[in-house]
Amino acid sequence: MPTTPNTASTSDRSGNQAEPTAKVSSTAHAEPASPAGKRPAPPCTLVIFGAGGDLTKRLLMPALYNLAVDGLLDDGMKIIGVNHGERETKEWVDDLHKSLQQFAADKASTFHAGKLDDKAWDWVAQRLEYMAGEFETDDVFTQLKQKLEKSSGGNVIFYLAVSSRFFKPITEHLGGAGLLKESDDGKSGFRRLVIEKPFGTDLASARDLNEHILSFAQESQVYRIDHFLGKDTVQSILAVRFANALFEPVWRREYIDSVQITAAETIGVEGRGAFYEQTGAFRDMLPNHLFQLLGMVAMEPPNSFDAEAVRNKKADIFDAIKPLTPDDVVFGQYEKGPAGVGYREEPDVAKDSTTETYAAARVFVENWRWAGVPFYLRTGKRLAARRTEISVQLKPVPFRLFRDTPVDALTPNVLTLRIDPAHGTSFDFNVKTPGPVMQIGAVKSSFDYADFFAERANVGYETLLYDCMLGDETLFQRADSIETSWAAVDDVLHPKTGGAVPVHGYAAGSEGPAEADALLARDGHAWRLLREEATPEKK
């Protein structure tokens, strides 16, 4: 649990000094120390718009609880929840507590903490306050301003855990009430704005939203969040690449044949048909989540882990992506199959819907390191298995050496970074099988995080919230990167010729539409299998 450090500052992931922390005396019980090398974030008030929503219950509150358990929140922390509907703070707190207990007991939940630590929850609960109000009325922000003026330190984070239609009005009201204003000397404390996806629905809307927000806040105050980047296994991509001499020398077009990035789900739209009808798999996943993974895989080595150094390198990758055309993508929609009903039979979905629940794309990064290397991206619902992973396939070795042996093909060397649900890496390579004849056999070497590190309840927002409090923007998206990503897919969303991308059917519970297989077959490749442990593709 949090204790106040004696030092005057904290350090971000790059080692730079972050905002000074106020010395707040604690009257609480003795708390466990924060992890080695980690100090509590500076005291601040976290204002959550959408306090009664699913995001707050399932992700933000579990993340705050976990940060409290780890001793990474300052005793001066306060949390104000703003939402429609009158209710007492105690009722809201009890509702959150009940939800946390249910999630903690559910082994299938991302927050599978087991039994809650009562002391940790009490610490969080004491800092919660509910405030009723409409998000588009002046009086709410006047009342909020009065509450914040009474807060010590002046540090405030405004978290927009709301529908995207509220992004503009909330930001405008915050700006109009002077709640985003920071003093030039920094003495009044920081003011930060956290915005969830979707950040726009295409290039034009993203530009418009950026322009609106940046008319009330500085770019340095805006934290565009992508929860994929909060996963430890996603952040470990940089560690695998840059902390191991084995990989970086071959991490280029001379040695890499292709890269596959997969985010597959077995669930359907789960009652979110109305949202999905307006979004679809492509908008929901490709220009943000999957492009972020691509950026981590493809970026050049930064000079440091300073936020701008990392974000500049990722921005270079997004800028180098060859704009996609309708010929580069395949859309699919799940139909009735072994895994259940079809998408059109889901609640709140049109009976003649053409919304895609599956999207695959062939992407090229046109720079010196990656020219000519295809990146194959796919995402979908109601697929054969739940799997988020990145597979990097190396080019084949010359076969001449084995032409007089019984070997008719060599298994490609593939490094797979497993992100979800299993965490780890595996590598497919070739060895000689036992016996007097030179015969080659395919083997796999694997590493699982669970074999080396203790399992921790983690919903992926802990690092993001902690970094936001520290002022570390490494894992957050800049305006230019958002717009560049949308620009790369704009011709798919708004085809200049040929009409909309056709949507092909696939059986619920299958590997996806056959047309997605044909997309890779053009280049002599094949998707790695979802239904079982991925097996090396053969050419």
Catalytic residue numbers, as ranges:
289
108 CB neighbour count, 10 Å cutoff:
7
Handedness of CA 158, 162, 167, 171 (dihedral sign): negative
Q: How far is CA 290 from CA 49, 249, 327, 360, 393, in A?
A: 27, 24, 19, 11, 18
Token pair, residue 428, equals 């497919």
- What φ, ψ does residue 510 adopt, rounded to 5°? -95, -175
Q: Across the strands, what pairs with 321?
A: 365
Cα angle: 24, vertex 74, 69; to 5 degrees: 135
Short-list 493, 484, 109, CA closest to 281: 493
Q: How far is CA 37 from CA 21, 71, 363, 451, in A?
A: 16, 12, 39, 24
Residues 81, 56 contacting (CB under 8 angstroms)? yes
Token pair, residue 55, equals 């995001």
Short-list 289, 424, 403, 268, CA closest to 346: 268
